[in-house]
Amino acid sequence: MGRHGTIAGRKSAQDSKRAALFTKYARLVTVAAKAGGDPDYNPGLRTAIDKAKAIGMPNDNITRAIKKGTGELAGESYEEGVFEGYGAGGVAVVVEVLTDNKNRTSASVKHAFDKFGGNLGTPGCVSYMFEKKGVFIFDKEREIDEDELMEAMLEAGADDMISEDDVFTVYCDPAVFNEVNDALKAAGFEPDSADIERVPSVEATPTDASQIGMLRKMIEALEDDDDVQKVETNCSIDLYEA
């Protein structure tokens, strides 16, 4: 579960922060475009553009971000980074960032961990608890036929599908993420969410409401930071319903 269990809550929270999300995804597109500005030949850029379009980013913003990445327009130089540590209740937390000032970002991430009862650790201290996978989420409210989706995902080259309370979740090897994504869409199954994520192999459960509240506040503080691209945890419960 981890991050996947909070899709509905996170989507609601993110919808109220659309402008901030545009900034984050524009950075993602810019960095991806450094490897080439044509999404047909740059799978990373294609994925970044898909994410940007999924939150309603205007095409002009996407084009401008691509041109910054290819050098056609002046722009900041962003550096990728990963921070690891523990939140309240012993929950493992991995924070991905894109920043033009690593010292500023390090201080900001550390402050969020310290303020809300977490502990920022060293590289590798929690990442061993996760496995990177392509993750596709389909909302059951769309009345998707489970057997048809299962057949389509197997033909697309995915590895597994899990039926949860309100969603179907399809998993694949990250190396074939774009191919599986394209094949699912061609078969008529447009995912509500598609990304390469860290899926926890070991989960942690906060034991009381105080820990749940502190963990949720820490994650929200991190996600409010323009430099933070993604926050992933091995929390076994939905923090937005607890």
User: SS3 sequence, the chain?
Assistant: CHHHHHHHHHHHHHHCCHHHHHHHHHHHHHHHHCCCCCCCCCHHHHHHHHHHHHCCCCHHHHHHHHHHHHCCCCCCCCEEEEEEEECHHHCEEEEEEEECCHHHHHHHHHHHHHHCCCEECCCCCCHHHEEEEEEEEEEHHHCCCHHHHHHHHHHHCCCEEEECCCEEEEEECHHHHHHHHHHHHHCCCCCCEEEEEEEECCCECCCCHHHHHHHHHHHHHHHCCCCEEEEEECECCCCCCC
Give me the pLDDT at residue 16, please. Answer: 53
pLDDT by residue (tens digit) across 136-193?
Answer: 999 999 889 999 999 999 999 999 999 988 899 999 999 999 999 999 999 999 999 9
Domain assignment of residue 30, yes or no:
yes
Domain membership of residue 53 as a residue range? 2-70
Give me the pLDDT at residue 238, please. Answer: 85
Domain assignment of residue 239, yes or no:
no
User: 109 and 193: one domain?
Assistant: no
Domain assignment of residue 154, yes or no:
yes
pLDDT by residue (tens digit) across 142-158?
Answer: 889 999 999 999 999 99
Domain assignment of residue 238, yes or no:
no
Give me the pLDDT at residue 20, please. Answer: 78
User: 164 and 185: one domain?
Assistant: yes
Average pLDDT over the chain reads: 90
User: 101 and 214: one domain?
Assistant: yes
Here the CATH number for the domain that contains residue 14 is 1.10.10.200
CA angle 98, 89, 170 (to 5 degrees): 60
Domain assignment of residue 240, yes or no:
no
User: 11 and 46: one domain?
Assistant: yes
pLDDT of 2 strictly over 50? no
Domain count, the chain: 3
User: 214 and 117: one domain?
Assistant: yes
Domain assignment of residue 34, yes or no:
yes
User: 194 and 210: one domain?
Assistant: no
Q: Is 240 helix (H, G, I), strand (E, B) or coil?
A: coil
Here the CATH number for the domain that contains residue 196 is 3.30.70.980
User: 141 and 193: one domain?
Assistant: yes
Give me the pLDDT at residue 15, please. Answer: 54
pLDDT by residue (tens digit) across 89-142?
Answer: 999 999 999 999 999 999 999 999 999 999 999 999 999 999 999 999 999 998
Q: Is the pTM of this model over 0.75?
A: yes
User: 207 and 150: one domain?
Assistant: no
91 within 8 A of 235, measured Cβ to Cβ: yes
pLDDT by residue (tens digit) across 6-24?
Answer: 444 445 555 556 777 888 9
Give me the pLDDT at residue 103, please. Answer: 96
